[in-house]
Amino acid sequence: MVAIPNELIELLSEANHVAVLTGAGISAESGVPTFREAQTGLWSRYDPEQLATPEAFANNPRLVWEWYDWRRQLVSSVEPNTAHYALAEMAARVPKFTLITQNVDGLHQRAGSDGVIELHGNIVRTKCFDCGRIAYNVQELQETSGQVPPRCEYCAGLLRPDVVWFGETLPADALNRAYDASRNCDLFFSIGTSGLVYPAASLPAQALSQNIPTVEVNPQSTPLSGAMTFILAGPAGELLPQLVALAWPHSSQETE
Ligand code: OAD
């Protein structure tokens, strides 16, 4: 069992602004495979890093579209887990809370988190590869045209998921807000992320540059681990509910 340091419990219960960065690991316990773990079944022979690129889409739009269709179905068939709910509860306890995610699965929002900063977009939204307009009637366009992927109503470009692919720029507003929160919070968490993909992986360093204590929640060590103030080396779905219950023992009992 992973011991949660008293110092961390105190810092959390007294914090005025907590910033949290999450990655694929927070959704692992919901049954969503992480990026760098072996894919299963039909898609196991494809490397996500080969499919999640503008070049892959340009070469074979149907293949990339169908991979995202499979991921959309997977995500809609699973539920948020105790880690997602613990963060929604933390947000209700801390005066200011900023949740920054690299995940495109929408599970934080389904667990009740508001104002989530989505650094890598969301797979349920679709936009045009050419003109960038959001498409709201994808199902209808697909059914009436029979085209995979369907085409944009405005410019006839191919439709694609509204996510950030490798080699693409992150949404500037989301990234600026993420940097700002990381440098101005008084406790920073990095949860379920391998810390390999930039610029998201640079957010803990922003907090550390301001002498803000940082916490990593991950059963494995990562390139970020060495710099962290606290390491909770275990599954987020177990550790985050424990941490919330320890930081606000009376409130947790009231809600039971
Ligand atoms: P990764 O798949 O790289 O890393 C997942 C991390 O979660 C690993 O460090 C695991 O050890 C950890 N993990 C697994 N189970 C966990 C659990 N139960 N609790 C806590 N941690 C757990 O996923 P990301 O870091 O999110 O980018 O990947 C970053 C980005 O790379 C993704 O957003 C995506 C990807 O390619 C784009 O699509 C642009």
Q: Hey, whose CA ends up nearest to atom 15 of ligand 1? A: 25
Which residue numbers in the chain have pLDDT < 50? Answer: 253-256
* Structure-token match 């929640």, residue found: 217
The two tokens of residue 189 are 């968490």
Superfamily of domain 1-31+80-120+170-256: TPP-binding domain (3.40.50.1220)
Q: What is the pLDDT of residues 134-175, one digit of tens each?
A: 999 998 998 899 999 999 999 999 999 999 999 999 999 999
Cis check for the bond before 80: say yes or no (omega within 30 of 0).
no
pLDDT of residue 50: 83
Say yes or no: do domains 1-31+80-120+170-256 and 33-77+123-163 share a fold. no
Note the pLDDT of residue 62.
96
Atom of ligand 1 nearest to the CA of 104: 33
Amino acid present at 233: A
Please give the distance, rounded to the nearest whole angstrom, from the Cα atom of residue 166 to the centre of ligand 1: 15
Q: Measured between alpha carbons, how far is 215 from 201 in angstroms, rounded to an integer?
A: 14
Measure the CA–CA gap between 224 and 97, rounded to whole angstroms.
Answer: 22
Considering only CA atoms, which of 14, 19, 11 is closest in space to residue 180? 19
Cross-strand partners of 126: 135, 161
Tokens 């801390």 map to which residue? 94
With the most atoms of ligand 1 within 8 angstroms of its CB, the residue from 82, 189, 197, 202 to mutate is: 197
Residue with tokens 């810092």: 11
Is 120 in the active site? Answer: yes
Report CA torsion sign: 103, 235, 193, 217. Answer: positive
- CB-based contacts of 26, cutoff 8 Å, min separation 6: 81, 83, 84, 101, 103, 107, 191, 192, 236
30 lines ligand 1 (CB under 6 A): no
The CATH number of 33-77+123-163 is: 3.30.1600.10
The domains of the chain are located at 1-31+80-120+170-256, 33-77+123-163
Ligand 1 neighbour 36 (Cβ under 6 A): yes
Pocket test of ligand 1: the residue of 117, 170, 193 to mutate, having most ligand atoms within 8 Å of its CB, is 193
Question: In 193-212, which positions are buried (b, 16+ CB within 10 angstroms) versus exposed (e)?
Answer: bbbebeebbebbebbbeeeb
Q: Which atom of ligand 1 is nearest to the CA of 236?
A: 19
Cα–Cα dist 127/163, whole Å: 9
